[in-house]
Protein backbone atom coordinates (compact mmCIF):
# COMPACT_ATOMS: atom_id res chain seq x y z
CA UNK A 1 0.00 0.00 0.00
CA UNK A 2 1.51 3.32 -1.02
CA UNK A 3 1.12 6.67 0.65
CA UNK A 4 1.32 10.22 -0.67
CA UNK A 5 3.19 12.81 1.38
CA UNK A 6 2.84 16.55 0.97
CA UNK A 7 5.88 18.63 1.98
CA UNK A 8 6.42 22.24 2.84
CA UNK A 9 9.92 23.43 2.09
CA UNK A 10 11.87 26.65 2.28
CA UNK A 11 12.01 28.71 -0.90
CA UNK A 12 15.78 28.17 -1.12
CA UNK A 13 15.31 24.39 -1.33
CA UNK A 14 12.48 24.81 -3.82
CA UNK A 15 14.83 26.91 -6.00
CA UNK A 16 17.51 24.20 -5.88
CA UNK A 17 14.99 21.53 -6.88
CA UNK A 18 13.71 23.65 -9.77
CA UNK A 19 17.29 24.32 -10.89
CA UNK A 20 17.93 20.57 -11.28
CA UNK A 21 14.75 19.23 -12.93
CA UNK A 22 16.39 16.00 -14.16
CA UNK A 23 17.17 14.84 -10.63
CA UNK A 24 14.69 12.29 -9.31
CA UNK A 25 13.87 14.19 -6.12
CA UNK A 26 11.10 11.75 -5.21
CA UNK A 27 13.57 8.85 -5.19
CA UNK A 28 16.04 10.87 -3.11
CA UNK A 29 13.32 11.60 -0.54
CA UNK A 30 12.21 7.93 -0.56
CA UNK A 31 15.78 6.73 0.07
CA UNK A 32 16.28 9.25 2.88
CA UNK A 33 13.08 8.03 4.55
CA UNK A 34 14.19 4.39 4.21
CA UNK A 35 17.55 5.20 5.83
CA UNK A 36 15.88 7.05 8.67
CA UNK A 37 13.31 4.28 9.14
CA UNK A 38 16.06 1.63 9.33
CA UNK A 39 17.92 3.76 11.85
CA UNK A 40 14.78 3.97 14.00
CA UNK A 41 14.30 0.20 13.79
CA UNK A 42 17.90 -0.33 14.95
CA UNK A 43 17.39 1.97 17.89
CA UNK A 44 14.09 0.29 18.79
CA UNK A 45 15.79 -3.10 18.75
CA UNK A 46 18.47 -1.91 21.18
CA UNK A 47 15.96 -0.21 23.46
CA UNK A 48 13.45 -3.07 23.50
CA UNK A 49 15.85 -5.45 25.24
CA UNK A 50 16.57 -3.45 28.36
CA UNK A 51 16.28 -0.16 30.16
CA UNK A 52 18.36 2.62 28.73
CA UNK A 53 21.83 2.63 30.27
CA UNK A 54 24.85 4.76 29.55
CA UNK A 55 26.30 1.91 27.47
CA UNK A 56 23.06 1.75 25.48
CA UNK A 57 23.30 5.47 24.85
CA UNK A 58 26.87 5.06 23.63
CA UNK A 59 25.83 2.21 21.30
CA UNK A 60 22.97 4.30 19.93
CA UNK A 61 25.35 7.21 19.46
CA UNK A 62 27.68 5.03 17.40
CA UNK A 63 24.77 3.99 15.18
CA UNK A 64 23.59 7.55 14.75
CA UNK A 65 27.04 8.78 13.82
CA UNK A 66 27.60 6.23 11.06
CA UNK A 67 28.54 8.18 7.92
CA UNK A 68 25.68 6.87 5.77
CA UNK A 69 22.97 8.23 8.06
CA UNK A 70 21.62 11.67 7.34
CA UNK A 71 19.77 13.61 10.01
CA UNK A 72 16.34 15.04 9.41
CA UNK A 73 14.70 16.61 12.42
CA UNK A 74 11.55 18.61 12.75
CA UNK A 75 12.17 22.13 14.00
CA UNK A 76 10.71 21.35 17.41
CA UNK A 77 13.10 18.41 18.08
CA UNK A 78 15.68 20.44 20.00
CA UNK A 79 12.90 22.10 22.00
CA UNK A 80 11.61 18.64 22.99
CA UNK A 81 15.10 17.51 23.98
CA UNK A 82 15.54 20.66 26.04
CA UNK A 83 12.15 20.14 27.69
CA UNK A 84 12.96 16.53 28.64
CA UNK A 85 16.72 16.76 29.17
CA UNK A 86 16.57 16.01 32.89
CA UNK A 87 14.71 12.74 32.23
CA UNK A 88 17.03 11.87 29.34
CA UNK A 89 20.13 12.53 31.45
CA UNK A 90 18.76 10.64 34.46
CA UNK A 91 17.75 7.56 32.46
CA UNK A 92 20.93 7.51 30.37
CA UNK A 93 23.32 8.09 33.26
CA UNK A 94 24.57 11.33 31.76
CA UNK A 95 25.27 13.98 34.34
CA UNK A 96 25.53 17.14 32.29
CA UNK A 97 23.70 18.73 29.38
CA UNK A 98 26.99 18.93 27.45
CA UNK A 99 27.22 15.11 27.62
CA UNK A 100 23.74 14.94 26.11
CA UNK A 101 24.74 17.32 23.32
CA UNK A 102 27.80 15.15 22.53
CA UNK A 103 25.42 12.28 21.82
CA UNK A 104 23.31 14.43 19.54
- What percent of the chain stands above pLDDT 70? 79
Q: Tell me the pTM.
A: 0.46
Mind listing the pLDDT tens digit for each residue in 39-85? 888 777 766 665 777 777 778 777 777 777 777 777 777 777 777 77
Alpha carbons 38 and 64: distance in angstroms, whole number: 11
Rounded to the nearest angstrom, the gap between the alpha carbon of residue 8 and the centroid of all alpha carbons in its chain is 18
For residue 104, pLDDT beyond 70: no
For residue 42, give the nearest of 69, 67, 60, 68 by alpha carbon: 60
Is residue 63 within 8 Å of 42, Cβ to Cβ? yes
Parse the chain into domains and list their residue ranges.
11-103
How confident is residue 14, by pLDDT bands cut at 50, 70 and 90?
A: very high
Amino acid sequence: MSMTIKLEMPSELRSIIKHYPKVDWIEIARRAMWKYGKKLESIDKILSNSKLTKNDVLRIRKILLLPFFEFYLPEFALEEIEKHKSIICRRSGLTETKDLLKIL
